[in-house]
Homo-oligomer: A and B are copies of this chain.
Amino acid sequence: MHRTYSMRQSRVPTASQVESPPPPLSTTKTGRWLGKGGIGHAFRKNAAGAFGPDLAKKLSQLVKMEKNAMRSMELVARERMEVAQQLSIWGEACDEDVSDVTDKLGVLIYEIGELEDMFVDRYDQYRVTIKSIRNIEASVQPSRDRKQKITDEIAKLKYKDPNSPRIVVLEQELVRAEAESLVAEAQLSNITREKVKAAFQYQFDALREHCEKVAIVAGYGKHLLDLIDDAPVTPGETRNAYDGYDASKAIIQDCEDALTNWVSSKAVVKSSLSQRSRTLSQRHRSNLSKNREGVDLSGQDQPLAGDRDSWLPADQHPSYEDGDDGVSTIEGEIRGREEEREPIAA
């Protein structure tokens, strides 16, 4: 048996891995104390979001559901590799040509399993990015709660003891809380957009690479099938000796080379937009930049760095104590946005 599994024992990185280094092992691959699938999946999905801040509930659930999906993908990958091995084991007892071709088909299908396994690692990058949105959602919740609490307290005092000196103190506190909340909401908005884009960029890039590679493997699989002599023999007739070992090995090597040299710039599946979509997207983008020029507020405050490192819990934020100049105008805007955003907390 010309097993070419051995060809892979010590692999050099593929061109695509050089282009973008592979991510760490998926976090879903370790620590599965609830066993694989079944009970664990159902528990994770239902328990997610039952604890923790309201705001982050839906996203917590999404993150857990992604974990389930990834575990299932891992299972498919593992089972595909097992199938590949069994195919090769079965073929061993057949005639020479069937034996060689099934063994090589096994190599290709095993390769698909390995690609699926690598895809899971890259998919985890997507999940981790979504998780970081969940974290900021959770961290914004306390500043919303605080504002609500002060507002309630003022209302209660005004009813019970309208002349209480505490009302003035609380109103000043509310102004500060609103300023803090304003910053937190802007951070939430900025980081959510940035991370959603990055996360799905990861996912779709990984998906495209995975799919194109699997399609390549499938194509070489079809070439291998041509080596089987399927002309029917009559009883007693012996088949010709098989001389395709070199050919099948060369096909596997071609496949290996094609996978190794794949880079995203060579992707061939195109998702081209129709004229209408292009026009509409173009108009949307130009509207965005036009409006941005019209009301340029960028000088008004430091633009946020936008990366997670610059993020601080709202109560450690430097602008926390001196955020109360120009209150009257800002205040109006806060209320406006809060009303617009009402459904979030619901």
A337–B214 Cα distance when bound, in Å, is: 39
Q: Which of A7-15, A86-94, A159-167 contacts B (4 or more CB under 8 A)?
A: A86-94
Residue pair A186, B72 in contact (C-beta under 8 Å): no
Q: Is A324 an interface residue (CB 8 A)?
A: no
Residue pair B301, A234 in contact (C-beta under 8 Å): yes
A312–B209 Cα distance when bound, in Å, is: 47
A98 and B221 in contact, given A211-B214, A212-B215, A277-B247 (Cβ under 8 angstroms): no
Instruction: Give the distance to chain B from A276, nearest Cβ to Cβ, in Å.
Output: 5
Q: Is A315 an interface residue (CB 8 A)?
A: no
Shortest Cβ distance from A220 into B: residue: B271
Residue pair A270, B219 in contact (C-beta under 8 Å): yes
Q: Is A338 an interface residue (CB 8 A)?
A: no
Residue pair B297, A277 in contact (C-beta under 8 Å): no
A214 and B223 in contact, given A189-B239, A292-B240 (Cβ under 8 angstroms): no
Q: Which of A16-24, A33-41, A148-156 contacts B (4 or more CB under 8 A)?
A: A33-41
A207–B115 Cα distance when bound, in Å, is: 14
Q: Is A263 an interface residue (CB 8 A)?
A: no
Interface residue ranges of A306-346 to B (CB < 8 Å): 306, 330, 333-334, 336-337, 343-344
Shortest Cβ distance from A251 into B: residue: B277
Q: Is A62 an interface residue (CB 8 A)?
A: yes
How many copies of this chain are found per oligomer? Answer: 2
Residue pair B273, A105 in contact (C-beta under 8 Å): no
Among B75, B98, B258, contact of A193 (Cβ-Cβ < 8 Å): B98
Q: Is A274 an interface residue (CB 8 A)?
A: yes
Q: Is A238 an interface residue (CB 8 A)?
A: yes
A226 and B281 in contact, given A86-B65, A301-B234, A301-B235 (Cβ under 8 angstroms): yes
**Top 8 A-B pairs ranked by shortest CB distance?**
A219-B271, A247-B280, A215-B269, A234-B301, A250-B277, A211-B215, A211-B211, A69-B79
17 more contacts with CB within 8 A, not counting A207-B218, A223-B271, are A72-B75, A93-B344, A97-B193, A183-B235, A190-B230, A201-B222, A205-B218, A207-B215, A212-B269, A215-B271, A217-B271, A218-B271, A240-B288, A251-B277, A251-B281, A254-B271, A254-B274
- Cβ contacts A to B, 22 pairs, < 8 Å: A36-B37, A37-B38, A65-B82, A65-B83, A97-B193, A98-B192, A185-B235, A186-B233, A189-B233, A197-B228, A203-B221, A208-B215, A208-B219, A215-B269, A219-B270, A227-B284, A240-B288, A243-B283, A250-B273, A250-B281, A253-B277, A254-B274
